[in-house]
Amino acid sequence: MFLTYLTLISGISLSIIAAGYSIIGLAALFAGATSAIIAMGGALEVAKLVMASWLYNNWHSPLLPKSIKYYLTSAVVILIFITSVGIFGFLSKAHLDQVVPESNNKLQVEILDEQIEQRQKTIERSQKQLTRMDDLIETQSEESSWFSSSSQKAIAERNNQREERLLLEKTIEESLNKINELTDKKAGIKTEQLKLEADLGPIKYVAEFIYGDEAENHFDKAVRIIIIILIFVFDPVAVLMLISANISLKERRMNQKEPENANDQVAEILAKQKKVWKKEREYEQFMNSLTEEEKANLSPDEIKLKLSQIHTWREEYDDDKYKNNV
C-alpha cells in the first residue's frame, strides 16, 4: 500500500512540476496574454489528469459510447503534447538566458578591441608627427653649422612646434590611459566569459559526445536533442504514474472484496455437500426399508428413479415449508 501511495504522490508531484514548466513556457510564447495563458494552462492540466483517471476506471463501461471514449483519449494525448511544447519553450528560454550573456560578452570584447585598435592608431599617428617634427629640426640644426641663419630657423621652428608638440604628447598620454582603461574592462568581461563557459561546459561535452570534432558549431542542436529527450519522459511519465496508482488502488479494492466472495463460495460448497450427505442417508434408509425379495426384484435403474422421486418430493416439501414460514 505504501508503494501505491508513493506512486500516486510521485505522479501528482511530477504533473504539478510539468504543469508549472509548461505554463511558464506557454506564457513566454504568448507574452501578450500571460494571465489568460496561465488560467487556461492550469485548467487544461487538471482536466488532463482527471480525464486520464476517469478513462481508466470507466474504459469497459457499457454506458460509455466509443466516440466519447476515443475523443477523450485523443484529448489526453493532445494535452500531453501541448504540455510537452510548453516544457520545450521553458527549457529553451532557460538555455537562451544562459547563452545570450556569452554572446553579449563576445560582442563587447570585439567592440573594446576595435576601440583599443583605434587608440593605438592615434598614438602611432601622433608619434609619426612628432618624428617628422624632430627630423625637420634636426635637418635645420645640421645646416646651422654652415649658415648661422639656419640655426636661428631651427630654434624658431622648435618654438613654433611647442604647442603642437604639447597637443600631440597629450593625445598620446590620453590614448595610453584610455587603452589601459579599455584593457581592464576587457579583462573583467573575459573573466565573466570564462565563468559562463564553465557553466556551459556540460553542454559542450554533450555536443562533443554527439557531434565529435564538429561540436563547436552544434551546441544549440545538442541542447535541442537533450530537451526533446526530457519532454518525452516528463509529462507522459506523470500521466502513466497516475494511471498506475489507479491500477493499484483498484486491485486493492478487489482484494478487499475477495474474502466476502470466498466466504459465500465456501457456504455454497458446504450446502451442496450437505445435500449429498442427505441423499446418501436417504439412500441407506430406503435400502434398509426394503425386504430381500423387493431388493431382488428391483433393478439399479428403478432404485435410482424411486430415489429421484423421493428427493423431488422432499425438496418441494421443504420449499413449501420455507414459504409458509416466511
pLDDT at site 29:
82
DSSP designation for 213: G
Q: Where are the domains of the chain?
A: 263-325
The predicted pLDDT at position 300 comes to 63
**CA dist 258 → 245, 253, 266, 314 (Å):** 20, 9, 12, 35
Alpha carbon of residue 253 to chain centroid: 33
First-to-last C-alpha distance (Å) of the chain? 46
Query: Can you give the pLDDT at residue 322?
Result: 40
CA atoms within 13 A on the CB side of 326: 6
Give the C-alpha separation, 21 to 40, whole Å: 14
Low-confidence spans in the chain with pLDDT less than 50: 147-148, 317, 319-326
Q: Report which DSSP code applies to 212.
A: G
- CA atoms lying within 13 Å on the CB side of residue 249: 14
* CA angle, 61 then 63 then 65, to 5°: 95
pTM, whole model, 2 decimals?
0.55
Residue 11: what residue type? Answer: G
Q: Which of 291, 310, 251, 258 is nearest to 3 (CA)?
A: 251
Cell reading at 265: 463460495
So what's the pLDDT on residue 326?
44
| Per-residue confidence (pLDDT) for residue 315, from 0 to 100 | 54
Closest C-alpha among 180, 177, 222 to residue 201 = 222
User: 171: which 3 cell numbers?
Assistant: 593625445
**For residues 164 and 277, what is the distance between their CA atoms, to the nearest angstrom?**
136
Sorted by sequence, the CB contacts under 8 Å of residue 242 that are 6+ apart come out as: 8, 11, 12, 15, 49, 52, 53
Write the single-letter amino acid at 69.
K
Helices and strands, counts by H and E, the chain? 9, 0
- Give the per-residue pLDDT at 221: 79
Q: Residue 101: its pLDDT value, please?
A: 66
What was the pLDDT predicted at 77?
92
pLDDT at 112: 84
